[in-house]
Structures are given as C-alpha cells and as structure tokens.
Amino acid sequence: MIGAAQPIGQVKVMAQLLKENLQNGWKAEETLIVLPDEKMLLPVLNSIPEEAGKLNITMGFPLSSSPMYNFVELLFDLQLSLETNAFHFRPVIALLQHPYLLAITNDQTNTFRKNLIKDNLVDIPIERLIDLPPICKQIFVEVHAKNILIYFQQIIEVIGSNATISDLDKEYAFHYYSFINRLQLIMGDDLLVHESRKKALKSFQRLFAQLVRAERIPFAGEPLEGLQIMGVLETRNLDFKHVMILSLNEGSLPSGSSKGSYIPHNVRKAYGLPTSAHQDAMYAYLFYRAIQRAESVNLFYNTETDVLGQGEMSRYLQQLISESGLTIQEQVLHNTIQPKPWQEILILKNEEIMQQLIKLTLPQGKRMGLSPSALNAYIECQLRFYFRYVAGIKVADEIEEDLDNRVLGDFLHKVVERFYVRLQQKNKSSIVQITDFEKYEAELMFIIDEVFREAYSLGSKRELVYKGQRLVVREIVKRFAERILELDKAYAPFHIEALEREGLVYTAEIDFAPHTINITGVIDRIDKKEDVVRIVDYKTGSDELTFNTIKSLFDREGKRNKAAFQTLMYALLYIESLPEGNSVKVVPGLINRKNLFDKSFQFGLYMERERVQNAQSLMPAFKDHLMEMLNELFDPAISFEQTKNLDNCKYCDYKSLCYRK
C-alpha cells in the first residue's frame, strides 16, 4: 500500500515499481493496472516504461478529457469573438499555438503568431489570416450557428486524416466526428436559427459541452497480448497475477454517489430502487474480486486531501488494514524538505561582461549610447540593469489589450507631437501663436484616431470603433491633450526648437573604459521663449516635481525622484549641445497627471521647495555625481548587486529571477 502526494505522484511511483518488476520477471500479459479515475489514463500512458512493450487499453475514456475537446472549445470561442469581420486575438493566438496546428503546419503558425504580436493586433481581420496554410483557411472563417457542426466536422476530418497526428489523437478525432455526426442526425437544422448568431452559438455551446461530458471513448484492445489497463467495471471475472490499482481514495473508489435523479433516497429505498448503498456494494465486490487471486497487489492512494478535507484514504484500504489479516506493507512517498538559505545574487564583472558594457555606450543601430532609463535602472537596482541591458533578458512580447499608464503615455506623446508637427507644416514655421489654438478640436480628434489605428494596425479602410477601455483611454488622451494645448495657448507665442529630439549626446571619459562613454536620450519637447528654454517631459503617472538635493537623485537607499533625474539628464544633454558662453536659461520640467489640471499650474521642477529657474547652475554638481556613478558602473572590481530597497522590486519584471516575489 503506497501513498503519494497528488495523482501524478501515484502514477510516477507506479511506473517506477512496474519497471523494476518487469525487469525482475513479471510478464506484461499477467499484469493489470486499474484506473478508477478515468482521467488518469493519459498520465499513465505517458509514464509506462518501455519494458512493458504493447498495451491493451480496455476502458471508457471521457471525451471531455481529450485534447480534441479543448480544440473544439477554442473553435467555439473563436466564432463567439467575431466582430465586424475580425476575430479577437485570444482564441486566434491559442489556436495558432495548439499542438495540432503546429504539427500539421510544420510550425508555420508559430511564425505568424509572432507577427500578430509584433503588430499588436487586438482585433485580427479575417483577410489578415488568408495567407495561412489550408487548414487555417478552414478555421478562420465566419460560420452561422446552423452550420457549426458541419464546420467542426470538416476541421476534425482534416486533423484526423493528417499523417503527423498520433494514433491516439486520430482515435479522439474519430470519436468526436462520430459524436457530431449523431448529434447532427438528431438535431437537424433546429440550432436556434431564429436567434442572433452570437446568442445561438452561446446556447448551443452550453448544450454541446453537457452532451460531450456524457460521452466515453470505448477503448477496446487485444486481451491476450500486452500490459492490461482497465477501468473498474472492465475487471469483472478476470484474474491476474499482479494487480496495481490507483486512486484509492473516497470519491474515486467507491465513486461519489450519483445525484442525477429527482427521486429522494427514502422513496428509492422504499420501492426497492437502486440507492448509493447498491453502488457501494457493487464497487466493493469489484475491488475484492480484482485482488482475489493475485499473487502481488500494489494499491496507491493520494495522501493530500482537498481544501474541504475530502478525498481521504478509501474505506476499502481501511478494511484491508483492520479486517483482512493479510501482511500489508505500508509506505508513503514524500520529498524531504531541504530549504536552502537565501543568498544574495552577485554578478562578477568578467571580461565578457566588461566588453558588453562597453558596447552599450557605442553607437549601434538606433541606440547612440546609454539612455537615462538605463541609468535609472542601474541606480534603482544594479542586478536589474544587468539582466536587461547586459544579459539582454527581455520580457516576452504580448498583444497589449489592457491600456495601462505606459500605453496611455505613448498615445499622449504621439498625439501632442503630431499636433505640433502638423501645425508647423501648415504654418511653415516653428513659431506657435495664440491664434493657432482656435478651433483645433476636429484636428485633435483626427490625430487621436490616427494614433489608435496605428497602435492596433487597423488600417485606414476599417471602421474604428471605440468601446470598453478604448473609449475610456480616448477620452483621457483627449482631455490631457486639450489641457496641454490650453496651457500652451496661455504661454504663447513661443518657438518650438524640437519634438522627440534625438541625437544629443553627452560624452564622458572615465578611468575604466578604453574610450569615451556616450549618454543619449529622446527629449519629448524643447521650446524657447525669449531667453528661456523649456525641456518638457510628458508623464501620465503621478511623478513628483520636487526633490531634495542633487545627491538624492543618485541615492539607492532613500526615496529618490527618478522622473526628476531623467528630466535633468535631458537638460544636461541640451546644455552640452550649446555653444560655449551661451547664457540661455534652461528650465526642465514635467507635465504630468498630478499637476496638469491644477489651476495654479507652473511649469518646472522644485529643489528643496524652490523652483529651478535655471538648470545650468545645477549641472556641475549633477555631472560630479554622474561621473562617480559611471566610474562605479565600469569598475571591474564592483559586482552587480541586488537592491536593498524592496519597494523597487514591486513592479520589476525580473523579481522572480532573484526570489523577490
């Protein structure tokens, strides 16, 4: 008698014992594996050792537990997701990743899936799916409710007849095809044709799932050859020398009493109808009959009960222990818990890492050097900087359906940038006048629509429908943009020097690098009025405008203002680009959610509650701390360490790698 944690634990220890005994003289034809829980069949088949040779499966397997059931459920979800000739991305991605399609198309669907993620297509138009292999052309089409069974049959037939599909999967396909065929004969054309397409499909999906759950695949093999795998009912009047029975827990053997009757227990008992006692007696007979003449019996049960305390050891095992008088060896499989002490992760800077660090500072593709975001990551956590920029561990790309602060900020940046780009093209001048802000609402809405179309690859021909989150985000972007334009109108006239300015580089020479270090970034906006230049950074979060000292911006332990650090870094890039002796006032600042709608809005940053009137006076101290940090970054003797400030780990993409969940 062997107890193991969870059903899979039973299967693995059973397979191990079976392998050992087959090597020591057991014959496969004289060995029986009994599965009271039919869902255990697939784990058992995947764990049977090679020594068993051929298998004979004699039992009913639930059709709803087969991979084909999951595939058909995805087809239902696909058709239910159809809106205006476009499928929602979730069922499309799930189908493209399904093992059946990957096997049949030789992994072509996986490549197509990556392209969909790259284009961020939340709603995938049907015409986009035309270039896929033939089976996909059958799947990704609009189907009316009355034709849904024919649709399933055609697809299942293609899958079942494909040479790359395993024999077991072909068996699933055959029984699913037969089941749908019977259902079609019974129901005819009465598939709720008078309702809307979506309502008809939803109603039929529930009915279909209910009917499938009652279906069993009647596996029938050659009883005189191979290892025998049976259900409980199939063991009647059969004797085997070696018997292995799994899932000996209450609810599996005996199975839970059936409640599929309107007749109460007392009425059934009074009129001699079958009750749960009859069912228990039947299973008790089958259990003791299976082990009656066996030479060796291995009984397996799950030692872990569920949250309600149900699923304890079967009453039949308790009877054997207490009443049988047989010699029983009781064993419990368990894994000894050996917790390892937490160790801080240190990444030593070897020659390869140092070379990779140097590469980060050199012009390569679109990157001109280290960015303020990278430096922010280094200050907050050296290990995060290593994972992201040195080791190049990237977060897996996904289709962005939820419109979070990052997506919202990206939309706002593009909308404001394009408004001023179009304004400059229209006026053929970079001077912005008060009159430019008259009747701009239609222009602004056109730009917002354009940005949404590009973000979701909708194209100019498809109708743009705002609903759900998109409707909310459009309104937020509109209000943010209108408020920014109101403030700009009050500030006008002014000259726009640059929008999304790239190419400004700060170069530094440090002791541990063979050449100068480049730092660069993209500045949202630079504008000028009289002798004041504003460095504008748009933020949609609640970033603070105040910071204590320049040193606090580089402090790893205390509370630091990373948005202020980034904006001052942009100011440094701009100031370094000015000719010597230029005394222009440079005012860096944020336009964010927290201060944008204040009636007393005043642009700029605040150091020790004093507004920064000119960032040029802060640059000597800022550059000193920056050089100190760069020397530390490129010092081979200083390792990459984890941050001590756990608040920095809350939203980190790499917290699972360093056990900071």
DSSP code string of 9-55 = HHHHHHHHHHHHHHHTT--GGGEEEE-SSGGGHHHHHHH--GGG-SE
For residue 69, tell me if it sits in a domain. yes
Q: Torsions phi, psi of 486, nearest 5?
A: -65, -45
Q: Which of 219, 251, 276 corresponds to the end of one domain?
A: 219
In the chain, the amino acid numbered 410 is: D
What's the CATH code of the domain at 38? 3.40.50.300
What is the C-alpha separation between 234 and 248, in angstroms, rounded?
Answer: 17
- 550 class by beta-carbon count within 10 Å (0-12 exposed, 13-18 middle, 19+ buried): buried
CA distances from 399 to 120, 124, 461 (A): 5, 11, 22
3-state helix, strand, coil in the chain (%, to 5): 45, 15, 40
Asked if omega into 372 is within 30° of 0 (cis), the reply is no
Report the predicted TM-score, pTM, of the whole model to 2 decimal places.
0.73
Reported as type and span, the H/E element at residue 579 is: none
Whether 488 and 553 share a structural domain: yes
In the chain, the amino acid numbered 354 is: M
For residue 617, which of 556, 565, 568, 555 has the smallest C-alpha distance?
568
For residue 347, tell me if it sits in a domain. no
Residues near 310 by beta carbon (within 8 Å), at least 6 away in sequence: 250, 251
- The SS3 assignment for 371 reads coil
Domain extent, residue 461, equals 356-394+403-649
Whether 198 and 242 share a structural domain: no
CA 377, 378, 382, 385 torsion-angle sign: positive
Whether 258 and 215 share a structural domain: no
CA distances from 110 to 73, 106, 114, 161 (A): 20, 9, 6, 22
Reported as type and span, the H/E element at residue 227 is: strand 227-230
Domain count, the chain: 3
DSSP code string of 451-516 = HHHHHTT-TTTS-----THHHHHHHHHHHHHHHHHHHHHHH-SEEEEEEEE---EEEE--TTSSSP
Report whether 373 contacts 566 (CB < 8 A): yes
pLDDT tens string 491-532: 999 999 999 888 888 888 888 777 788 889 899 999 999 889
Report whether 72 contacts 215 (CB < 8 A): no
Whether 458 and 600 share a structural domain: yes
pLDDT at position 271: 92
Other Cβ atoms less than 10 A from the Cβ of 603: the count is: 17
Q: Identify the residue whose tokens are 């015409």.
A: 127
What is the C-alpha separation between 420 and 481, in angstroms, rounded?
Answer: 11
Whether 70 and 49 share a structural domain: no
For residue 225, tell me if it sits in a domain. no
Whether 205 and 266 share a structural domain: no
Report whether 206 contacts 198 (CB < 8 A): no
Interior angle at CA 606, CA 604 and CA 608, nearest 5: 170
pLDDT at position 260: 67
Residue 313 DSSP label: B
Using only C-alpha atoms, what is the Rg of the chain? Answer: 35
Reported as type and span, the H/E element at residue 301 is: strand 296-302
For residue 27, which of 299, 241, 297 has the smallest C-alpha distance?
241
Whether 434 and 578 share a structural domain: yes
Continuous H helices in 292-435? 315-323, 351-360, 372-380, 382-385, 405-427
pLDDT at position 193: 55
Residues near 401 by beta carbon (within 8 Å), at least 6 away in sequence: 89, 122, 469
Q: Encoding tokens for residue 100? A: 């059946």
Other Cβ atoms less than 10 A from the Cβ of 438: the count is: 8
Q: Encoding tokens for residue 78? A: 């696909």
pLDDT at position 533: 93
- Residues in the chain where the model's pLDDT stays below 70: 188-195, 220-221, 257-260, 306-310, 364-368, 399-405, 459-462, 581, 661
For residue 454, tell me if it sits in a domain. yes
Where residue 120 falls (left for φ over 0; alpha for ψ -120 to 50; beta otherwise) is left
What is the C-alpha separation between 536 and 525, in angstroms, rounded?
Answer: 5
Q: Which of 154, 184, 219 corresponds to the end of one domain?
A: 219
Whether 12 and 145 share a structural domain: no
For residue 308, tell me if it sits in a domain. yes
Whether 202 and 122 share a structural domain: yes
Whether 103 and 177 share a structural domain: yes
- The SS3 assignment for 350 reads coil
For residue 290, which of 237, 330, 247, 253 has the smallest C-alpha distance?
237
For residue 33, tell me if it sits in a domain. yes
Whether 198 and 307 share a structural domain: no
pLDDT at position 404: 63
Report whether 316 contacts 281 (CB < 8 A): no
CA distances from 516 to 176, 357, 360, 366, 625 (A): 68, 13, 12, 19, 17
Report whether 64 contacts 41 (CB < 8 A): no
Report whether 156 contacts 68 (CB < 8 A): yes
pLDDT at position 367: 62
For residue 382, tell me if it sits in a domain. yes
For residue 96, tell me if it sits in a domain. yes
Q: Which of 167, 184, 219 corresponds to the end of one domain?
A: 219
Asked if omega into 36 is within 30° of 0 (cis), the reply is no
Whether 108 and 191 share a structural domain: yes
